[in-house]
Amino acid sequence: MSIVQPHIERLHAYSSGIQPPKGNGAIKLNLNENPYPPSTHVLKALHSIDEETLQRYPDALCDELRTALAKLYGVKKEQTLCGNGSSEIISLLFSVFIRAQDRIAIPYPSFSLYHSVAAVHQVECVNVPTQDDFSVNVEWLLESRSNVIVLVNPNAPTGRLLPVSEVERLVKNFPGLVVVDEAYIDFADPHASVIPLIERYANLLVVRTFSKVYSLCGARIGYCFSNEAFIAAMEKGKNLYNVNVISQRLALAALQDQEHMKRTAIAVGHTRDAFSANLQSLGFDVIPSQTNFVLCTPPAHIEDNGARQLYEKLMERNIYVRYFEGSRLSDKLRISIGTDEEMTILYNELHCLLEK
């Protein structure tokens, strides 16, 4: 008999995109990383870390960072918690709130890490279809006969945003926990966040990350907001020193430079809109995106499997985009937004590839 639990044996590990070796000139548009460096405050904070700081255990509760987050979002420190990336927070949600016999509902397509974590915890995950234009239908989620709903907003990999009024309708009419993952919200309309709703709805939990808009994927730091009782429960369930001292300092420095964050988000948005228009001029169908990536369908005149072939041919040219096998996705590419220069190189390559 195997020592490994059978449900783990059966699991397909979550597959993140390819990370080509550093310094080989690859254009990386496959992991939704920010093409711009973090705020200069972040490197200053990094250089200010001394031996003593490394010698001591970090603050287990990220007091300073939570205080800063609470102030920025107008909530209490007791309504926020930090984690080792939002991925840790997502795992923690399953340990703290979700029982083995529960069913979680998530729109399809969406961020597949939720399916992987559900499988690790032996929780059933129900895919609720999105509409033909990939927008989320709140009614269908409410009818899903589930105990927990996960909503990635704006959604990945579609880039579509559900308006606050619709998210509120969901939270109001659903008796169980609603998790809203706002990993990309700072690229969208700043008023699209539902953080203010945690005051009114005890079943709402909002997950955020420093990975995307703050350019800190490597530092692994995420955060969330909910009512005080839920946050207290998560504090009990989390790993003791879950966020290391360096990451706590870097996140605090990043948070204190809101101007830099906003500039970056605006720059990415401009590049995204211009690139989307260019893709359309090549005959691509592009889903309007509120994020730092676009989901697009290559023109119909190229052969079957056109998206996969483009993905592979771009990789031969050292350009990495994302291809998903799943239904409604296998004819599409998800392209993260890089710098203007990178997107011009990609556009020129696509132009050549489509002419052949």
Ligand X SMILES: *Cc1c(COP(=O)(O)O)cnc(C)c1O
Instruction: List residues binding ligand X (CB under 6 A).
Output: 32, 85-87, 111, 152, 156, 181, 183, 209, 211-212, 217, 222
Give the helix/strand (H/E) hosting 128: strand 124-129
The token duo for 54 is 């490394």
Nearer to ligand X, 218 or 299 (CB): 218
Residue of minimal Cβ distance to ligand X: 85
Nearer to ligand X, 211 or 215 (CB): 211
CA distances from 273 to 174, 186, 291, 340, 344 (A): 35, 16, 10, 11, 13
Nearer residue to ligand X within complex by CB, 156 or 231: 156
Which tokens is 197 given? 């709703």
Cα separation, 284 vs 300, whole angstroms:
8
Q: Please state the closest distance from residue 14 (CB atom) to ligand X, in A.
A: 11
Give the CB-side neighbour count of residue 157, counting CA atoms within 13 A.
Answer: 29
Measured from the CB atom, is 110 or 227 closer to ligand X?
110
Smallest gap, in angstroms, from Cβ of residue 196 to ligand X?
Answer: 20
- Minimum CB–partner distance for residue 212 and ligand X (Å): 6
CA–chain centroid gap for 147, Å, is 22
Name the residue nearer to ligand X (CB basis): 141 or 350: 141
Instruction: Tell me the two tokens of residue 40.
Output: 């200069």
Specify whether the CB–CB gap between 222 and 210 falls below 8 A. yes
Half-sphere exposure of 306 (CA within 13 A, CB side): 18
For residue 334, the minimal CB distance to ligand X (Å) is 11
Element (H or E) spanning 259, and its range? Answer: helix 258-281
Closest to ligand X by CB, 26 or 217: 217
